[in-house]
Amino acid sequence: MATLRALLALGNAKLGTAIHHFDLEAVSTCPGRSSLCESVCYARRGRFHVGPVRNRLRWCLRQSRRTDFADRMVSEVRRKGALVVRVHVSGDFYAREYAAQWLSVFRRCHATTFYFYTRSWRVAEVAPVLEQMAGLENVRAWYSADVETGLPEPLPKGVRVAWLQTAADDPVTGDLVFRDRPVRPTPLPGFGLPVVCPSETPVGHRQGVNCGNCGHCWRA
């Protein structure tokens, strides 16, 4: 039976207006989560708890379990001419089979850039699929880490690290730092530090930085 509802949503306050995204419910689809990221997860608050959004995330999970998920996603990406797709504003690669469906999408949509942040690198059965994704030219793979997970070792080729800072005295490392809201006004500890997501700094916020006009995570 034909499905009229779209798998991809377009834009939000963080992404800007031109980046498509596909999302799942947070926590239950995040097998590699740390207790730290779960405790500060933005996708457990605010609009993610509004009825229509929750319903949509549950619907997306059901679609992701269908055997035709990859085929439907490929056809939607092409039909919409999506140039950039963020996989999972909320949620994660919850199983090897699901990750394999996305790998198939990435391989068939060369003209589209896909990017994602994931803690499923901590899940032994999913990690090999992520490594294959990271080797593709049109994919930007970020492994999410924090003081609880430590850095991924060894870091697969093509993967960068997004570090979550939740306390002012947390060490910061990796290629990009996301700062939990309460620590954003505090100075970073030390010199020679990785880039802080500009949309989370007061200056970037004032200047209207979003992922579309920043591009740090998906351009190169």
Min CB(217)–ligand SF4 separation in Å: 3
Return the residue matching tokens 């919850």.
94
Residue 83 or 125 having the CB closest to ligand SF4: 83
Q: Site residues for ligand SF4, window 186-205 (CB under 6 A)?
A: 197-199
- What are the DSSP calls for 23-71, one per residue? ---TTTT-TT--HHHHHH-GGGSGGGGSHHHHHHHHHHHHHHTSTTHHH
Distances (CA, A) of 211 to 79, 112, 123, 169, 179: 23, 16, 28, 27, 16
Residue 73 or 162 having the CB closest to ligand SF4: 162
Among 106, 154, 214, 220, contact with ligand SF4 (rule: CB under 6 A): 214
The distance from CA 212 to its chain's CA centroid, rounded to whole angstroms, is: 14
Residue 74 or 204 having the CB closest to ligand SF4: 204
Residue span binding ligand SF4 (CB under 6 A) among the ranges 27-35, 53-61, 91-99, 211-219: 211-219
Based on the shown chain and the rule CB under 6 A, indicate whether residue 31 belongs to the binding site for ligand SF4: no
CB 92 within 8 A of CB 126: no
Based on the shown chain and the rule CB under 6 A, indicate whether residue 209 belongs to the binding site for ligand SF4: yes
Min CB(90)–ligand SF4 separation in Å: 14
Annotate each residue in 158-187 with x if it binds ligand SF4 (CB under 6 A) or - if it does not, as one string.
------------------x-----------
Give the helix ranges, DSSP H, for 65-217. Answer: 69-80, 96-108, 127-134, 202-206, 211-214
3-state secondary structure (DSSP) of residue 8? coil
Where does this chain bind ligand SF4 (CB under 6 A)? 176, 197-199, 209, 211, 214-217
